[in-house]
Structures are given as C-alpha cells and as structure tokens.
Amino acid sequence: MSELKIAVHQFNPIIGDIDGNIEKIIQAVEIAQKNDADVFITSELAITGYPPKDLLFISKFYRQQITALERLFKFSGITIICGGFYIAENVTQTDILYAQNNSLGACYNSAFVVRDGVILSRYDKKNTTKFWRF
C-alpha cells in the first residue's frame, strides 16, 4: 500500500498583505516538496488574511489575490489546497443562500485546489459565521 504525505502550513497571514502571505505560502510549498509531500494545505483565507471584511469590495484586491494564486501554478507534482475568496459574477439561488453578495457579485470564502499549473477545483464554504459572513 502506498503512502500519501500531507503537509499542513499553519501561519498567521496578515490581512490585506497578499504579496507577503503568498511569499510565505510559496516558501512552505518549496519545503513541502523537498520533503516529498503529495498534498500541501493552507488555512482558510491564507492568501488574503482573515477576515478581509471591506477589502472584498475592492475589485483590485480580488485581481491581486487571483494573480497571487496563479503564482502557485509554477509547482508540479504536488497538489496545493489554498484558502482565498471567489467572486461569482452571475448570481444564482445558491449564491443568495451561501455567499456574501457585494457590488462585484456573490463572494465566497473558498479553498482552491491547484496542481501542475491549473486550478483543478474550488470548494466554497457553506456554513459561515453570523458575526461576519466569513
């Protein structure tokens, strides 16, 4: 039976410091690869910091986060599960139930699954807090 090696990166991402947070994530993925990890997992909203609150209403912030997420595309041979947020521009009934809606669209607290230069999947958090949607 083969072994699955999982690396979990728990750190304190700084709210709004996307560049600094992604650098820490990249460094941790590099260490995980050196240790032959198959899967690398970050915490919730690791790219943006938690909770991003009103930063979610700034389209530049969303684009900056997507650009940071794409920096993980350079890795191959390891599956990366990384926390960030996703904006669905075409709002559906599900979006109304589970997302924080803002002027940009339905906003989700999401986990992105990245491997070999592509986003394979995304999971959107369903049970959000009552204090703040994320």
**Residue 34: burial class (beta carbons within 10 Å; 0-12, 13-18, 19+):** exposed
The tally of domains found in the chain comes to 1
pLDDT digits (tens, 9 = 90+) for 79-94: 999 998 887 766 554 5
Parent domain of 28:
6-124
Contact predicate 99/90, CB 8 Å: no
**CATH code where residue 51 lies:** 3.60.110.10
* Residue 130 domain flag: no
Q: Which of 75, 85, 87, 88 is nearest to 29 (CA)?
A: 75
* Residue 131 domain flag: no
pLDDT digits (tens, 9 = 90+) for 11-51: 999 998 999 999 999 999 999 999 999 999 999 899 999 88
Contact predicate 122/85, CB 8 Å: no
* Residue 133 domain flag: no
pTM for the whole structure: 0.83
